[in-house]
Amino acid sequence: MKKIVSLFLAISLVFTSLNVKADEGMWLPMFIKRLNIKDMQSKGLKLTAEEIYSVNNSSLKDAIISLGGFCTGEIISDQGLMLTNHHCGYDAIQQFSTVTNNYLRDGFWAMTKSEEKNVPGLTATFLVRMEDVTAEILEALAEQSSKKDKAAKLKSLKAELIKKATEGTHYTAYIKEFFFGNEYYMFINETFEDVRLVGAPPESVGKYGGDTDNWMWPRHTGDFTLFRVYSGEDGKPAKYSAENIPLKPKHHLPVNIKGVKEGDFAMIMGYPGSTDRYLSSFGVQQLIDKKAPTVVEVRDVKLATMKAQMDKKEKVDIMYSSKYAQTANYWKYYQGQGEQLKTNKVVDRKTQLERQFEEWYSKSPEREAKYQNALKDIRDYYDLTDKYIIGNTYVMEAGVRGPNYVLYAWRSNRILDAISKTRKKMNDLISDASEEEKAKLIAERDKTVNNLIAALENSTKSHFKNYDKTTEKNLVANLFDLYYNKVDKEQHPAFFADVKKANFKRYARKMFWCSPFVKEKRMNKLISKLKAGKEIDESEDKAVKSANDFLAMYFSSAAKFAEAEEKMEEGYRLFIEGIRLMQPEKSFYPNANSTQRLTYGQVLSYGVSDKVKAMVRSKDGLDTYYTTMEGLIEKEIPGDQEFSLPARLKELYEKKDYGQYADADGKLRVNFLTNNDITGGNSGSPVIDGNGYLIGTAFDGNWEAMSGDISFENKVQRTISVDIRYTLFIIDKYAGASHLIDEMTVIK
């Protein structure tokens, strides 16, 4: 009987997968062999599971990088050359840009290794291996009864397991929770700290289409940047040094310039940041009604305020370009998410699953006892937070991450506090100490204080590097004014009550008049005083007071909902445990959480929505899976910031000088589509063919599936990637950096 049932299931599964071509799933590399490899091979993969993920031999995973924890990169030469997105390198490119050397505008190409630029703070992390530690952890947690004891046990056990796994090596490790605490995995990593900028196209290539085209197909963006990973002379990670050498990687991806066609196997390995695929119908409703529109509302004002000054001065434009791009990226994301959650009827689908779950557990008394409160506890949480979610979003968007001074003033004031406390405590000790002990205590005091002052000095320098006073003052006035008018009085920060006539323009003027935290010169003076041993108390400063208010609200709201949140989390854990038992034939994959994942599928077009069709200025790419130079040229708007093109690129187009990068039809392809399942953090990920060769770099998703982080859209969800041939064309033909092509293993 059992056999027949499973045979029946197997047939119906094959059937659905043929029909729907669903390629949902961000799979954990260590389980590919068990869960996915057969399916992958049937779809065109020529590799074994061991060639993708192996602990003992070099495998594809050894070419995959978590770039600074926010993006993905891949190694494409035996000299540590790394490919990622332009929008992932944006911050680095911006850091090196000035009005005279504007690399954002003009691009940057190191013609020799000595010209490559170390990016302070940027890291490249490889996965060494992963381990299932679920059994140890769940067993230990089962012995604890209170939430507090469980948390303490989890912390100590994690530290113990990590220590055991990394002892005697230069590796680091972390353990993360999966399926809301139903499973735990440990990731052992190797992190390189010397990463250098090698090449970046101008924004007019790397960000072509700007925010207008962002999150949309058809697309014509050369969204790529090159870095190089350096190691110490022994091949191990080392801090930046001129003596460091290019990394000799365990594996690098060969680059396939033969081109892709519809239906070809395609997989993506990378570091997706976060998804919420198990979000309940109540959670989705709150997101649609409250959270998404609020983020958009605040960011509208934030963006317009920055833009006004950026348009006036090139210097300000460079300073704020990265913050602006990041803000705009998720401003548009939330518009799309809100819209598509409705269009794609995600609430209905979630509700359906919840009904199914209820039906399932009600069929058995044991199940009923275990699961009957799960959904209720989840719903209670959203009912409770419904009244606060808008206020909380304002605290974050207009406060904590609003004007730049907020976090800076809060942190700086904490350092000042720490200095005063250290001095006071140590001076008390010193006055009571014996003569011999005094010198030692004084040295200790001075060391601690000097370290704190150095920290303040460093953060001050980097804070004011990208800082325009007028822009900041306007952000204070505009964002706080919006906050005041849009949020219930009970949810205002305390200092709002002291703002006369709620005139935030005046408030901003006054703050900028006197606070040291909004002017570098004043801060430097303050630091000199500290160094001279002066006692400094800025707790009554306007900037500090408002910053403290915002942060206090942020922390207290977490505390206020702690109990409901705890129940909600347990509700989700049970809900997921239940739906997995309810559908034993289905392979489940966990939410993205910045750990390495693999998604596979194929090169595939889709039906672009009428709404998007009505918006495009070029039909190129509408009915197929790729775009070309023809469409790119058609879209040009000379002089427009988003759609202008470099003259050199137009020249190459006129001459059709595409070299070995043209497709069989003589055209140059720019971007293409696959039905892989990715999200933010996957940016820069390699798109890999059935032979393990690189065919593209993933950089975005499409408008019709903006709800995809909450619920995968089988029919329309697509990944947008730069065709590797366009990337190589820009490096080779446009920039003349053919020495970089020579490093690669090119499959022709």
Task: Work out whether 329 is an interface residue with ligand ARG (CB under 6 A).
Answer: yes
Strand partners, 688: 267, 694
Residue with smaller CB distance to ligand ARG, 84 or 596: 84
Residue 173 tokens, joined: 């490790």
Alpha helices in 167-280 (DSSP H): 203-206, 210-213
Among 95, 591, 675, 683, binds ligand ARG (CB under 6 A): 683
Taking CB under 6 A as the binding criterion, the range among 205-213, 302-310, 702-710, 737-745 that sits at the site for ligand ARG is 205-213
CB-side neighbour CA atoms (13 Å) of 349: 16
CB 599 within 8 A of CB 279: no
Task: Work out whether 104 is an interface residue with ligand ARG (CB under 6 A).
Answer: no
Cα distance between residue 448 and residue 419, in whole Å: 8
Among 222, 399, 601, 680, binds ligand ARG (CB under 6 A): 680
Task: Work out whether 214 is an interface residue with ligand ARG (CB under 6 A).
Answer: yes
Taking CB under 6 A as the binding criterion, the range among 210-218, 254-262, 438-446, 505-513 that sits at the site for ligand ARG is 210-218
Establish whether 683 is a catalytic residue.
yes
Nearest CA among 747, 741, 698 for reference residue 722: 698
Residue with smaller CB distance to ligand ARG, 476 or 608: 608
- 107 Ramachandran zone, left/alpha/beta (phi>0; psi -120 to 50): left
Establish whether 220 is a catalytic residue.
no
Residue 632 tokens, joined: 């790119």
Q: What Å distances lie between residue 252 and 20, 48, 535, 743, 745, CA to CA?
A: 34, 17, 56, 11, 9
335 Cα distance to chain centroid: 18
Cα distance between residue 102 and residue 27, in whole Å: 40
Task: Work out whether 692 is an interface residue with ligand ARG (CB under 6 A).
Answer: no
Nearest CA among 107, 71, 124, 129 for reference residue 246: 124
59, 66, 77, 87: the active-site residue: 87
Residue with smaller CB distance to ligand ARG, 335 or 683: 683
Q: Which amino acid is at 224?
A: F
Among 210, 232, 293, 659, binds ligand ARG (CB under 6 A): 210
Q: What are phi and psi of 25, to 5 degrees?
A: 130, 125
Residue with smaller CB distance to ligand ARG, 103 or 192: 103
Among 205, 325, 346, 728, binds ligand ARG (CB under 6 A): 325
CB 687 within 8 A of CB 639: no
Task: Work out whether 87 is an interface residue with ligand ARG (CB under 6 A).
Answer: yes
Task: Work out whether 718 is an interface residue with ligand ARG (CB under 6 A).
Answer: no
CB 480 within 8 A of CB 305: no
Cα distance between residue 646 and residue 317, in whole Å: 19
Among 51, 131, 211, 380, binds ligand ARG (CB under 6 A): 211
Taking CB under 6 A as the binding criterion, the range among 164-172, 203-211, 269-277, 336-344 that sits at the site for ligand ARG is 203-211
Cα distance between residue 626 and residue 720, in whole Å: 9
How far apart are CB 557 and ligand ARG at their closest, in Å? 27
How far apart are CB 720 and ligand ARG at their closest, in Å? 9
How far apart are CB 591 and ligand ARG at their closest, in Å? 18
Task: Work out whether 215 is an interface residue with ligand ARG (CB under 6 A).
Answer: yes
Among 194, 700, 704, 723, binds ligand ARG (CB under 6 A): 700
| 3-class state of residue 74 by DSSP | strand
Task: Work out whether 217 is an interface residue with ligand ARG (CB under 6 A).
Answer: no
Residue with smaller CB distance to ligand ARG, 661 or 703: 703
CB 583 within 8 A of CB 589: no
How far apart are CB 654 and ligand ARG at their closest, in Å? 27
Task: Work out whether 219 is an interface residue with ligand ARG (CB under 6 A).
Answer: no
Known catalytic residues are 87, 223, 683
Residues in touch with ligand ARG (CB under 6 A): 87, 207, 210-211, 214-215, 325, 328-329, 680, 683, 699-700
